[in-house]
Structure 1
């Protein structure tokens, strides 16, 4: 599958393009940027062509699919243009800024017989399936509550995540992780009970969100995300007989050996799991979907999970109290 890249974002350079290069099913054909010099630098590093602009890349009949690492607020526009050009689309998370826009894009892709997939890679890491298997085995008894947290240090002043018009803010940038982790382990859709979002009144973007969600079975999930704090990316499942905590749950590099803490009756067992490359796993899943080997049931489940996630993010934006810094 020959894929082109619209945009030269950091996540593309550091993680996704190297993963695409490892996937035998994928050939990185071209990269486009608003900055020709940046496109040329990316092209040289990753051994592909540099397109003169987004439209030129989309007009190339030899490119079957595109990857969009653009700011969130631009996903809808360029995913729609890519689908109109007959290209399959892999877009960075979140797929769009709303459930309504996400549903519309899926309808467009389905009508055109094209694949649309969100690049939320962490759920493809084996560690989460292994944790789910531990829970299913009764390792901590019936799950009573979940806590999920994702925090990062202050962003540079010129970071696009400070720009409201580009879909900036902590909720859209980081909220997808604890929300999707809760969906993965508790099921969905998740209802928002309440919460608080702190926001920057000058930039009009939220810098943190702390909220309580509840699963269809009535299990609560406490989530917290935010910038301007020490790094943390973890979740805990608290059961009737113990707790399981996963550290570095959302952003482990390919060579990282995940650490899982299992607490029972005052005794903590530490398990180190095998490394896994969730970026590569997601790239291969996308290629399988394009080639038709993923299966309609799995593709439908991907869409359902992404739409539920978008619905919860919409509810978090609407149903939490907004407090200025």
Structure 2
């Protein structure tokens, strides 16, 4: 297959996020080609195939055997990511996997090692990172628009929904931290230094062994910049972050999941002046798929993606450890400890 041909992509799992956002974007990407969708339920695979104009496979193994699939997208429940990302890498496929990549640092490290040994991409899907609004924020900060950054704060909460959804399943590694909290934690890494630490964490759990439904995390870097991350599954909708500096503040609405037609609004406060910057609309999922296809053809990009994925897994593991890892009183008291996340 020629290097300039579109990357043939297969999908493991007939997930809602794939139907709504990722596959429509993939169809518009000139450097990628949707080959097939696999599901354990034949009817689901056929529905995807008919809607998106690709082939259907019953069973994930059959898709991984296809020679016309060079890369796979994995939107399965969190608890299944490690198994199928590992299988895909061992089958010689580049991997784009939905957040959260794994439920442990050890699992993420193992996947990164396998990808490295085989010269493959391992990329965690945080589509928001590819939206140009965040590049604009970083440019403003670098230009001194708010002086020296002091505090990053971010919130992502959504209302309670059908209890049968995967996000409420502890067995499938659901919960607020990996459904919504992972976004603010990942965003904080855009603005804090490489020596970031998790200083404290609290998770609120449903009774009787249910998932975490809310949480807060405190981070800091060696320069003294702090980050406050709040999240939940039982909240009025909120999806925002802000940077507060020595001379001003930048606020970003709809930070993590803006629809492709939305024009982002940045609010800049400095002294007595308030400025609103309206940015062009952008499809962050199209930019994500384009970046993934580009990384498949660029070995130099492989290590950065794998390292970012391992670092994120390490951060979330530290949060769970500090919060006690369960909903009992002893676990809540464990939040007084701190843990260092290695660079």
TM over 0.5: yes
2:92 is paired with a residue whose SS is: coil
Query: Is residue 167 from structure 1 mapped to residue 170 from structure 2 by the alignment?
Result: no
**What TM-score does the superposition give when structure 2 sets the normalisation length?**
0.90
Deviations 1:172-201, CA, capped at 9 Å, x for gaps: 112221111110012334212113210012
Runs of 4+ that moved beyond 3 A: 321-325
Q: Look up the match of 2:156.
A: 150
The answer to whether the 8 A contact 2:150-2:245 is kept is: yes
Distance in 2 (alpha carbons) for counterparts of 1:225 and 1:49 = 38
Alpha carbons of structure 1 residues 245 and 324: separation in structure 2 relative to 1, 3 Å: farther
Q: Which residue of 2 aligns with 1:273?
A: 279
Residue number in structure 2 paired with 1:303 = 306
Q: Secondary structure at the match of 2:198?
A: strand
How much does 1:203 deviate?
Answer: 4.3
- Equivalent residue for 1:17, pick from 13, 16, 23: 23
Gaps in structure 1 of 5+ consecutive residues = none
The yes-or-no answer on 1:219 pairing with 2:225 is yes
Q: How does 1:20-169 map to 2 (within 5 A)?
A: 20-169=26-175
SS of 1:166's partner is: coil
Aligned to 1:240: 246
**Taking structure 1 as reference, are residues 301 and 25 closer, same or farther at Cα in structure 2, changes over 3 Å only?**
same
CA distance in 2 between partners of 1:46 and 1:184 (Å): 34
The number of residue pairs the alignment matches comes to 322
Q: CA RMSD in A?
A: 1.5
Distance between the aligned counterparts of 2:309 and 2:94, measured in 1?
17
- Whether 2:318 is the aligned partner of 1:315: answer yes
The answer on whether the counterparts of 1:183 and 1:189 sit within 8 Å (CA) in structure 2 is: no
Three-state SS of the structure 1 residue aligned to 2:31 is: coil
Alignment of 1:248-287 (within 5 A): 248-287=254-293
Q: Which residue of 2 aligns with 1:3?
A: 9
1: distance between equivalents of 2:247 and 2:41? 56
Residues 12-46 of structure 1, C-alpha deviation per residue, up to 9 Å, x if partnerless?
00000011101111110110112111111110000
- The corresponding residue for 2:337 is none
Partner SS, residue 234 of structure 2: coil
User: CA shift at 1:204, angstroms?
Assistant: 2.7
CA distance in 2, matches of 1:257, 1:275: 4
Q: Name structure 2 gaps, 5 residues minimum.
A: 1-6, 330-343
- Partners of 1:223 and 1:10 lie apart in 2 by 26
Please report the TM-score for the alignment, with normalisation by the length of structure 1.
0.95
